[in-house]
Structure 1
Amino acid sequence: MDNRHTYDYGVIGNCAYTAHIKKDTNIAWMCWPRFDSSFIFGNMIDDEKGGEFSALPAEGNFDSRQYYLENTNVLCTEITSATGKYRVTDFAPRYLQFERSYKPLMLIRKIEPISEHPNIKVICSPVGDYGETVPERSMGSNHIRYIGLDAQVRLTTNISLSYLMKDQEFVLNETKYLVLTFGPPLEADVKETGELFLNRTVNYWHKWVKTASIANFYQKAAIRSALTLKIHQFEDTGAIVAATTTSLPESPGSTRNWDYRFCWMRDTFYTLNAFNNIGHFEELEKYFHYIMNITSAENDRYQPLFGIGGEKDLIEIETNLKGYQGNQPVRVGNQAYEHIQNDVYGQVLLSLLPLYYDQRIIFTERYDSGDLIHKTLGLIEKTMEQTDAGLWEFRNLSQHHCYTYLFHWAGSMAAEKIAVVLKDEKMGKLAKKLGKIAKGKIEQCYSVGKKGYSQAIGTDRMDASCLQLINMNYLDNNSDRAKEHLKAMEKDLKASNGLFYRYKHQDDFGEPETTFLICAFWYVEALACVGRLDEAIEYFDNLVGYSNHVGLLSEDVNEKDGSMWGNFPQAYSHVGLLNAAHRIAKKLDMPDFR
C-alpha cells in the first residue's frame, strides 16, 4: 500500500467548527461560522480560490511529521528544513467555563523553534463565499482585519505585521502565536491567552477521554475514533454530521462527490450506539434533543437528512470550483433530502428507546413523548407497502428494501417496550402488529438459491446493509441461517483484507469502484456474532491499517491499492470502528476501562 492515495491531513475542532491541516502546515479546509458554511480556507478543493494559512520554510524543501498530543484533538506539525526545525501546534479552544462549554470561533496556532534558526514565511489569506470574495487586509496595532467577509475576521499575533502584510519571510528565534477569530476579536495578550487556552484545551480532552468507557482492545484506535466522532457533533443543536467536508470523490472521476455536512437519520442508531458503548451521555442527550426537535415538527414524513440547525431544504447546487485533484462537480447542499427513505422511522424509535429503559439518562420529556412514538409508528404503518430509495439513496431506483423492513421491525419492537413503560396498550398492540408484518416482508427478501437475504423483495442482488440482520439479532446468531446468510454476503460482496462493498450492481453512476468502510466494520461485527472471532480480529487489524498517518478514516477504500477516498474523516467510519471494537471486546470478555 506504499503508493496508495491518502488524505495527508490532521483535523482539529471544538464542536463549533473543524479545520483540516495538511502536513505542510496549510489549513486546507475550514468552514466558518458553521460546519455547513462557506469555507474560509478551501485549498483542498481549489488551489486558486481556496485561500491559504501556512507557516512554511522560506527555502522550500522540508520534511514533515504530524501527530496529535496524546488523547487530545490538539495537532502538532513539525517541519525540518535547511535552516532549522520548528513545531506548529494547532487547536480549537474548548474547555468548561462556568459549567458550560467554551468553544469560540477561534483558531490558535503556536509556532515554536526547536533547533537552529528556521527561516519561515507565514501567509494568512482567508476567503469568503466559496472563494468568490477576497477580503481587503487592514493593519491594526497588533492585528490584521480582513474586510468584506460575513463577520469581523481578525488575526491577532506577536509576529511583525509588516512581514505578514507583505507575505515576507523572517527568522523564527522565539515562539510566535497567531489567533484567528470570527466575530468578537481577541483583546487580551496573545501569548498569555495562547498558553492558557492550550493548557485548558489539553486538560479538557484528557478528562473527556478519562470519562469514556473504552476496553483494552485496540484502545488507541478506539480513543482516536471517539475523539474524532466528538468533534463532528455541532454542540449548539446536538446534530452529528457525516463529515465536515464536501465533494471528496468516492473514486477518481466517478462524479460521486457529495456534500456530507448534514445530519443523516439513517445513521442515528449506530451513532447513539457508539456513544452509549463508550458511556458518553452528554453527547447522547444532545443528539436526542436534536432528533426530537426535528421529528416533532414533521407530520407527513421524516426526511433522510436535515441541516445541523434542523433546516429542511438542503438544495443541491454545483459550483465552479476546481474540485479535489480536479474531481468535479463540487456540490453544496444535498438533493437526498427529497428522497423517500423509510428506514428513518425505525431509526428514530430505536434511538428513543434508551430514554425509557436506561435509568442513567435523565430526560424530562420521557413521559411526554408518547405522541411522537404514536406518530412515528403511524408512519411505519403508512409506508409499509411503499418502495423507497434505501439507505444508499439510489436516485433512480425504488424498491421494497430489506434494510427498510429490518428497521420497521426493530422500531416496532422498540415501541412495544416503550409502550410497556408508558402503560399504553394501544401503542403496544399497533407495534406488535407492525413488527409481525415487517418480519413477513423481510422473509420475502430471502433467496433460496443464495441461502441469504437479498437487497429487496424480488431481486437476488446482495447488499451489505443486510449484515445488520445478524448484528441486530433479527437472525439467531447461533443458527445455520445466520451463518449461511453471512457466507452468501461474503460470496458476493467481500473484498480483500476484510473490506466490503455496499453492493456490486450498477446504480445511477455506474458500478461502484470502492469499498465502503463502515460496511467492513459491520462485517467484522457479524463475524464476531456468529462465533468466527479469530477472523473478526484479523480483519479488524487490517481495517485499522487503512487509517492515515494520524489515525483518521475515510469513507471509502479502494480494494486494489488501499487508497482512501470519499469525504474525510468520515464520522460513521469511526462509529463503525468503535462499535466493532466494542463487540469484539465483549466477546473476548474484556472489561471496560473508565
Structure 2
Amino acid sequence: MMKHTYDMGLIGNCAFLGLIGTDTAVRWLCWPRFDSSFVFGSLLDEQKGGEFSIRPVTEGGFESRQYYAANTNVLVTEISTAEGRYRVTDFAPRFSQYERYYKPLMFIRKVEPLEGMPRVRVACRPVAEYGEQQLSRRRSSNHIAFLGMEEEIRLTTNLPLTYVLDEEAFGLNETKYLVLTYGAPLEAPLESTCERFLQSTLGYWRQWVKSTSISNFHQPAVIRSALALKMHQYEDTGAIIAASTTSLPEAPGSTRNWDYRYCWMRDTFYTLTAFNNIGHFEELERYFHYIANISSSITGRYQPLYGISGASQLTEQELPLAGYLGNQPVRIGNDAYTHIQNDVYGQVLVALLPLYVDARFVNPEQRNPEKLVYEALRQIEATMDQPDAGLWEFRNLAQRHCYTYLFHWAGSHAACHVARALGDADMEALASRLMQAAADRIEQCYSQEQQAYTNAIGSPHLDASTIQLIMMGYLDPASERAARHLEALERALKTPEGLFYRYRHPDDFGTPETTFLICSFWYVEALACVGRVQEAITEFEHLLGYTNHLGLLSEDVDAKTGSQWGNFPQAYSHVGLVNAAFRIAKKLDSPSFL
C-alpha cells in the first residue's frame, strides 16, 4: 500500500481557514465561520464541492513545489511546465490596524510568471449548503459577484473576466491578482492594496514568531506547529477548534469520519499549556475567556465539546456527499456533545487555575470566582462513581475510567490552590477530600499482574491516556511504579515503528487500525519525565517524519505505511509536538543533564 499524505497547505487569519492543494486548487474553505458550510469543498466531493484553481494547461505533466514564506502562514505554490513556470502566493490578510487586528473574510491570490509563457486556466465556482446550492453569477466592470448566500461572494481581479467566466486558457505574461471576499468587498486599488496587505501580513506573522519563547530544540518544527495552532483559534470568541475539517477518515473504510470543527473542553488544558510553553499570553487569555464564559453559563453537567460561539446543540447529520476518497459517511455536527464525559470538570479547573493564581491576570471576568470552582467540584463529587464514555468517546460503552479519575484528582488539586489564593477554607477542605477520593479510585485501576494502571476499574485493558498519570504528576516520575507503568504501556501499545495506539481492544467500530499522534507525543513527554531523555529525543525526531511536505500533522498515522489519516491539520497533534519539545528542552537545560 502506498503512503498517503495530505498534500495541502493551510492558510488562515483567525477568522477563516483554507486548504490549498499542490495543484493550486482550494480543496477546503468554509465561510463565514470555521464551522459554516464549505464554499469550496472538493476535498469531500469533486463534483459538488465547487472549484477555485489556477491550474496549468500543458501537453505534458507539471511539477509543483509548495512552501511557506519563512516564519509565516503565507503559502507559495510554484508550478513548472514545459511552457514555463509560475508562482501562486495565497494568504488571508492579517495585521494590526487602528489598534485592532484586521482579519477580513478575504482570500488573496497573487499569480506571477517566473519563466517562459505558461498557459493557465482559472476556475472560480463557489457553492453553498455543502454543495447542494449553486450560486448565480453577476458580471460587473472588474469583478464577478456570486449570489445566493446570506452575503455576496465577490471575485475582484485584473484578469479578463471572460477568461474566468468561460474558464478559458490564456498565456500568463504579467502578475495578476484575484481577491475573493465574503460580505464586505475590496473597494480600493487592486494591485497596490494586495501588495500592501501581503507585506503587512508577512510582517505580522514574522513578528508573532519573534515574540514566541522557544528553545533551540527543533525550532523550525515548533514554529510551524505554533503557526498552525494559532490559525485554529477563532479570534472572535477565543475558541480553538480541534481541526479545520470534517469527515476525513481515521482509516480508509473505518467509518470513523467525524466533524472536528468544534472546541473540546478536554483539549483545553493541553492547548493552554502549549501557548503558555511558547510564551503566548494573548491567545491564552482569549481562550481562557471562552472557557470561562461557557463555564459561567452552565448549571449542572458540562458537555465534552461546544461550538465556536459556545453553542451547545451540535446535532450530527449525514450529508449526501461522495466523501474523501469515497469514504462515507460525511458528517457535520458531532453527537459526542450528548456524551457523559466526567473528566471535563477537572480539565476546566486545571485550565482556569491561572485566572485565580497568576498575577498577570488582573480582574478576571468573574464577579463571583468561587461560584465556578464550587460548581465544578460539586460535579466531580456527584459523578465520582458514575461510569462515563471516557476521553475516546465510546458510543456504546460506559466505564469508570482511570483518566477521568486522574482529572478529578488534578482538578481538585488545582482547586486547592485556588482556595488558598482566595482564603477559602471550606473550598480547600472539599477539594482535598475529593483529591483523596479520586486517588483511591485511580489505585483501583492498578493491575498487580501487569504492573500498570488499566483504562478503567475492573478492566484488563491498557490505554495510552494513562501516560498522563506520569505527566500530570500523580505518579512520581522517578518512582519504580512510573517506570514499570510506562514499560507496560510500551509492550501493549507501541508499534515497532515507535508509534502509539490509543488502545488495542475493540470498541463500537472494531479495533482501531491507525495510531493516534497525540499519544505518541505524550509518550515522548513521559520518556523525558522519567529521565529517558535520549530516547525521548530519538522518538521525537522519528515523529517529525510523519508530517506532510509543509510540516503539518494529521490526527492519525498508519504505522505500517506511515500514511496520514484523520482530520487535518489536527491542532491536537501540533499541541503534542509543542509540549513534547518544551519538555525535552527543559530537561536538556537542567543542570542534572549537563
Same-fold status (TM-score > 0.5) = yes
The separation in 2 between residues aligned to 1:483 and 1:446, in whole angstroms, is 14
Query: Residues 58-97 of structure 1: matches in 2 within 5 Å?
Result: 58-59=57-58, 61-97=61-97
Please list the CA deviations of residues 45-76 of structure 1 after superposition, one character each: whole Å capped at 9, or x if unmatched. 10000011000111262100000000000000
Match of 2:546, SS state, is: coil
Q: Does 1:100 align with 2:100?
A: yes
Query: Residues 24-423 of structure 1: matches in 2 within 5 Å?
Result: 24-59=23-58, 61-365=61-365, 368-423=368-423
Query: Could you tell me which residue of structure 2 aligns to residue 437 of structure 1?
Result: 437
The separation in 2 between residues aligned to 1:381 and 1:436, in whole angstroms, is 11
Query: Could you tell me which residue of structure 1 aligns to residue 561 of structure 2?
Result: 561
Is the Cα–Cα contact under 8 Å of residues 289 and 365 in structure 2 kept in the other structure?
no
Give the C-alpha shift of residue 534 in structure 1.
Answer: 1.0
Is the Cα–Cα contact under 8 Å of residues 78 and 88 in structure 1 kept in the other structure?
yes
The separation in 2 between residues aligned to 1:590 and 1:196, in whole angstroms, is 45
Query: Could you tell me which residue of structure 1 aligns to residue 470 of structure 2?
Result: 470
Give the AA of the match of 2:5.
T
Give the C-alpha shift of residue 494 in structure 1.
Answer: 0.6
The separation in 2 between residues aligned to 1:264 and 1:518, in whole angstroms, is 15
Give the AA of the match of 2:198.
L
Q: Structure 2 vs 1, CA of residues 323 and 520 (structure 1 numbering), >3 Å: closer, same or farther?
A: same
Give the C-alpha shift of residue 362 in structure 1.
Answer: 3.5
Give the C-alpha shift of residue 398 in structure 1.
Answer: 0.2
The separation in 2 between residues aligned to 1:145 and 1:82, in whole angstroms, is 34
Please list the CA deviations of residues 100-125 of structure 1 after superposition, one character each: whole Å capped at 9, or x if unmatched. 11100000000001111111111111
Give the C-alpha shift of residue 475 in structure 1.
Answer: 0.4
Query: Could you tell me which residue of structure 1 aligns to residue 10 of structure 2?
Result: 11
Is the Cα–Cα contact under 8 Å of residues 355 and 364 in structure 2 kept in the other structure?
no
The separation in 1 between residues aligned to 2:580 and 2:172, in whole angstroms, is 46
Give the C-alpha shift of residue 361 in structure 1.
Answer: 3.3
Q: Structure 2 vs 1, CA of residues 519 and 182 (structure 1 numbering), >3 Å: closer, same or farther?
A: same
Is the Cα–Cα contact under 8 Å of residues 90 and 109 in structure 1 kept in the other structure?
yes
Is the Cα–Cα contact under 8 Å of residues 111 and 177 in structure 2 kept in the other structure?
yes
The separation in 1 between residues aligned to 2:528 and 2:496, in whole angstroms, is 18
Give the C-alpha shift of residue 357 in structure 1.
Answer: 2.4
Is the Cα–Cα contact under 8 Å of residues 468 and 522 in structure 2 kept in the other structure?
yes
The separation in 2 between residues aligned to 1:48 and 1:364, in whole angstroms, is 49
Give the C-alpha shift of residue 355 in structure 1.
Answer: 1.6
The separation in 2 between residues aligned to 1:403 and 1:301, in whole angstroms, is 18
Instruction: Please identify, of 488-497 and 511-520, the stretch whose mean Cα deviation from structure 2 is larger.
Output: 488-497
Match of 1:64, SS state, is: strand
Please list the CA deviations of residues 402-439 of structure 1 after superposition, one character each: whole Å capped at 9, or x if unmatched. 00000000000000000001111111110000000000
Match of 1:144, SS state, is: strand
Please list the CA deviations of residues 377-411 of structure 1 after superposition, one character each: whole Å capped at 9, or x if unmatched. 11101100100000000001100000000000000
The separation in 2 between residues aligned to 1:543 and 1:568, in whole angstroms, is 16
Give the AA of the match of 2:306.
F
Give the AA of the match of 1:340.
I
Is the Cα–Cα contact under 8 Å of residues 497 and 560 in structure 2 kept in the other structure?
no
Query: Could you tell me which residue of structure 2 aligns to residue 528 of structure 1?
Result: 528
Query: Could you tell me which residue of structure 1 aligns to residue 489 of structure 2?
Result: 489
The separation in 1 between residues aligned to 2:474 and 2:509, in whole angstroms, is 32
Is the Cα–Cα contact under 8 Å of residues 126 and 135 in structure 1 kept in the other structure?
yes
Give the C-alpha shift of residue 496 in structure 1.
Answer: 2.7
Give the C-alpha shift of residue 298 in structure 1.
Answer: 1.1
The separation in 2 between residues aligned to 1:496 and 1:100, in whole angstroms, is 50
Q: Percent identity?
A: 63
Is the Cα–Cα contact under 8 Å of residues 281 and 361 in structure 1 kept in the other structure?
no
The separation in 2 between residues aligned to 1:21 and 1:399, in whole angstroms, is 42
Match of 1:390, SS state, is: coil
The separation in 2 between residues aligned to 1:408 and 1:235, in whole angstroms, is 30
The separation in 2 between residues aligned to 1:218 and 1:357, in whole angstroms, is 32
Match of 1:130, SS state, is: helix
Give the C-alpha shift of residue 590 in structure 1.
Answer: 7.6
Give the C-alpha shift of residue 368 in structure 1.
Answer: 3.4
Normalised TM-score (structure 1): 0.98
The separation in 1 between residues aligned to 2:570 and 2:590, in whole angstroms, is 27
The separation in 1 between residues aligned to 2:361 and 2:295, in whole angstroms, is 20
Is the Cα–Cα contact under 8 Å of residues 524 and 536 in structure 1 kept in the other structure?
yes
The separation in 1 between residues aligned to 2:427 and 2:124, in whole angstroms, is 59
The separation in 2 between residues aligned to 1:399 and 1:585, in whole angstroms, is 37
Unaligned runs of 5+ in 2: none
The separation in 1 between residues aligned to 2:282 and 2:590, in whole angstroms, is 25
Query: Could you tell me which residue of structure 2 aligns to residue 21 of structure 1?
Result: 20
Match of 1:28, SS state, is: strand
The separation in 1 between residues aligned to 2:53 and 2:159, in whole angstroms, is 14
Query: Could you tell me which residue of structure 2 aligns to residue 578 of structure 1?
Result: 578
Give the C-alpha shift of residue 365 in structure 1.
Answer: 3.1
Match of 2:121, SS state, is: strand
Give the AA of the match of 1:15.
C
Is the Cα–Cα contact under 8 Å of residues 268 and 347 in structure 1 kept in the other structure?
yes
Give the C-alpha shift of residue 367 in structure 1.
Answer: 6.9
Is the Cα–Cα contact under 8 Å of residues 355 and 366 in structure 1 kept in the other structure?
no
The separation in 1 between residues aligned to 2:486 and 2:144, in whole angstroms, is 60
Normalised TM-score (structure 2): 0.98
Match of 1:186, SS state, is: coil
Query: Could you tell me which residue of structure 1 aligns to residue 587 of structure 2?
Result: 587
Query: Residues 495-510 of structure 1: matches in 2 within 5 Å?
Result: 495-510=495-510
Is the Cα–Cα contact under 8 Å of residues 515 and 559 in structure 1 kept in the other structure?
yes
Computed over aligned residues only, the root mean square deviation of the Cα atoms, in angstroms, reads 1.1
The separation in 1 between residues aligned to 2:311 and 2:82, in whole angstroms, is 51
Question: How many residue pairs were aligned?
Answer: 590
Give the C-alpha shift of residue 138 in structure 1.
Answer: 1.2
Query: Could you tell me which residue of structure 2 aligns to residue 513 of structure 1?
Result: 513
Please list the CA deviations of residues 256-303 of structure 1 after superposition, one character each: whole Å capped at 9, or x if unmatched. 000000000011110000000001011011001100111111111000
Please list the CA deviations of residues 85-141 of structure 1 after superposition, one character each: whole Å capped at 9, or x if unmatched. 000000000001111111000000000011111111111110000001111111111
